[in-house]
Structure 1
């Protein structure tokens, strides 16, 4: 079992905001691989299925972003997966241009509160991640208002393409490992 978590905030108020790109990628994976996201457990909406021959649990934590680690910890413990090799997280990154991807095998939270909470709950920074760029906060904007805002204009098309590329990157991580995906998608 491989646990794949996409970060976001629950509720229609937050749908398709910058902070919810992780949910968008999970939705792409669920659609492409015919995985029903209809199970509520581990403080999340989950779906079990197979991606490119690998059994997976897709997870959309419903704890709100800053408490994502609570949900992730429950899933990781329940399935007894090693966070360093059988867990992957997808989330938004304001330090990347809209639509750009950055895959890493480990790293700090980089100021992302959802990742900070996951690191706290897992007790390690060593786990693969797919960061999806949402663009830098404009001068004078409040960070929370920015990441909870919606994409505008040309950004929408860029992000739709990014969700597909991020889903392809996840599939490649599962089949060929993060190093190959880093070479192909970074």
Structure 2
């Protein structure tokens, strides 16, 4: 009887139907932690802490962990490829776990066109100049995956773009980005619970 229960439990864990891959984009070295470009990683950390999903697996050029958020089976992912090659991690993960990337992939990234504190949920679209999204689109062969973009503020004229996105938040922006990361985490859950349009209506353009 005990062996039968174990088999049922093992089958449930291995069943990846309707599983979501939630990927936050960033750069893996410690020096990049807390930078504007790494808000995707920070959002994954927030989800990991809130739902007790540890990213203990390191395969497919990524750190990831499997668990549940409410009724949803999820895989939280941080690509370890550096930003510009994020697709090298996400395509193999989606293929291996048989994830429909047009429906059950959610990608979280930074957005320099949005003020700090704002997020933008979209069901599809171009990379908008973001190299991580550009690589994911190239490797998946489509741009129809859900994404949550977190505002990190527009680049001041005196800054180089690379220096801006690899810089750290200062002053009031530290509080603003914490609120945005919390909002992005909630938007991810809303996408899974009630669909991307509901998340867009709740969170787009609202501080």
Scaled by the length of structure 2, the TM-score of the pair is 0.89
Cα RMSD over matched residues? 0.6
- 1:90 matches 2:112: no
1:41-120 aligned within 5 A: 41-120=59-138
1:1-186 aligned within 5 A: 1-186=19-204
1:42 shift after superposition: 1.3
1:141 shift after superposition: 1.0
> Structure 1 regions of 5+ residues with no counterpart?
none
Partner SS, residue 75 of structure 1: helix
Q: Which has the larger radius of gyration?
A: 2
Partner SS, residue 186 of structure 2: helix
1:91 shift after superposition: 0.2
Are 1:44 and 1:61, in contact at CA under 8 Å, matched by a contact in 2?
yes
Taking the aligned partners of 1:148 and 1:37, their CA distance within structure 2 comes to 24
Are 1:104 and 1:178, in contact at CA under 8 Å, matched by a contact in 2?
yes
Taking the aligned partners of 1:172 and 1:52, their CA distance within structure 2 comes to 11
Taking the aligned partners of 1:140 and 1:34, their CA distance within structure 2 comes to 42
Are 1:22 and 1:91, in contact at CA under 8 Å, matched by a contact in 2?
yes
1:140 shift after superposition: 2.3
Taking the aligned partners of 1:162 and 1:112, their CA distance within structure 2 comes to 19
1:14 shift after superposition: 0.1
Scaled by the length of structure 1, the TM-score of the pair is 0.99
Number of positions where the alignment pairs a residue of Structure 1 with one of Structure 2? 186
1:37 shift after superposition: 1.2
